[in-house]
Amino acid sequence: KLDGRATYRFFEPEMDARMQARRRLELDMRQALARREFQLHYQPQLQLEGDRLVGCEALIRWQHPVRGMVSPLDFIPLAEEIGLIVPIGEWVMRQACRDAAGWPAPLSVAVNVSPAQFKSERLVEMVMSALAASGLPATRLEVEITEGVLLHESERTLQTLHRLRELGVRVSMDDFGTGYSSLSYLRSFPFDKIKIDRSFVSDLTGAGKGAGKGAGKGDGEAIIRAIAGLGRSLGMTTVAEGVETADQLERIRAEGCTDVQGYLISRPIPAAEVLAFIAAR
Ligand code: C2E
Ligand code: MG
Ligand code: MG
Ligand code: MG
């Protein structure tokens, strides 16, 4: 009313509150690097044949002074939106290479790289610099990308992927099967590894096929079998993500996936505990 007649209020109060929370998070995130609030946790990956540990995926954690541990799902999307993922991603790459250089060979480290990082001209140089500074051989580094990276499949993105590959870095397609055109992306680049999205694995749980969960649910087994076969034909490793139970593990083995990752093997663990985990195995 104070605004007078025929005015248009753009923000609802609650929307305003959300904007403020977002701005607060953004301000905090801009300081988090300098304040050393980010950490890496590592989740082991197991090759089924021989039950062999092959490496770990680096997963960022934000130890916020007030909010406590913040999940990457709650800040990576915003970091991508405002471009902050470029410096944060560089920190992740350097730290992950440094940590992995202290693990016994040939264990590798997998680093998630965002679409926005592929837009930056310097990605390949940054990776080379991280490898050189840490002493980690390129063959022990793996880059995980999602469909978002290939969405606007530019020449430059493909060129960047090929340049990484020429260094000896391996490239994985993350969250496979969740996007609109996962299959067609397999044709645009010769990935080393396909990571089958956790949703297909959790679909294996419980009462089995089509257990009244609605259309499309319960078919995880057939889908996993198909992707494992595809991986075999294309000479790619197939990793099942999010394996939580022994039952899921057995079915995944039966369907022919080569590798697994998930809480059953281990939750993501702090960097300082990785060597003990490796020794215990
Ligand atoms: P992602 O790359 O697909 O990573 C796997 C996620 O699944 C991780 O969540 C992991 O903790 C979780 N997970 C693994 N095993 C299980 C399981 O058995 N059960 C369940 N319920 N979950 C499992 P997290 O750490 O919260 O990371 C979420 C996403 O955030 C990642 O998905 C990745 O897309 C992104 N992310 C994490 N770290 C980074 C990073 O350093 N850079 C970038 N760009 N993205 C990151
Ligand atoms: Mg990943
Ligand atoms: Mg994934
Ligand atoms: Mg994911």
Q: Which pLDDT score is estimated for 11?
A: 60
What does the CA dihedral 164, 109, 126, 121 come to, rounded to 10 degrees?
A: 50
Strand partners, 170: 142
Please check whether residue 238 is in contact with residue 227, taking contact to mean a CB–CB distance below 8 angstroms.
yes
For residue 106, say if its preceding peptide bond is cis, omega within 30 degrees of 0: yes
- What is the number of the ligand closest to the CA of 72? 1
- Say if pTM beats, i.e. exceeds, 0.80: yes
The Å distance, Cα 59 to ligand 1 centre, comes to 6
Question: Which two structure tokens, joined as six digits, stand for 55?
Answer: 């490496």
Residue with tokens 């406590």: 68
As a whole number of angstroms, the distance between CA 273 and CA 276 comes to 5
Find all residues with CB under 8 Å of 28, minimum gap 6, and list them: 64
pLDDT at 56: 98
Amino acid 11 reads F
Ligand 1 lining (C-beta closer than 6 Å): 43, 58-60, 71-73, 76, 89, 92, 112, 114, 144, 174-175, 198, 242-244, 262-263, 268
CA distance 214 to 216: 6
Taking a C-beta distance cutoff of 8 angstroms, is the pair 251, 203 a contact?
no
Q: Please report, in tens digits, the pLDDT of each residue of the chain (281 residues total).
A: 555 666 666 666 777 888 898 899 999 999 999 999 999 999 999 999 999 999 999 999 999 999 999 999 999 999 999 999 999 999 999 999 999 999 999 999 999 999 999 988 899 999 999 999 999 999 999 999 998 898 877 888 999 999 999 999 999 999 999 887 788 888 889 999 999 999 999 988 654 444 444 446 668 899 999 999 999 999 999 999 999 999 999 999 999 999 999 999 999 999 999 999 999 98
Please state, as a whole number, how many other Cβ atoms lie within 10 Å of the Cβ of residue 5: 5
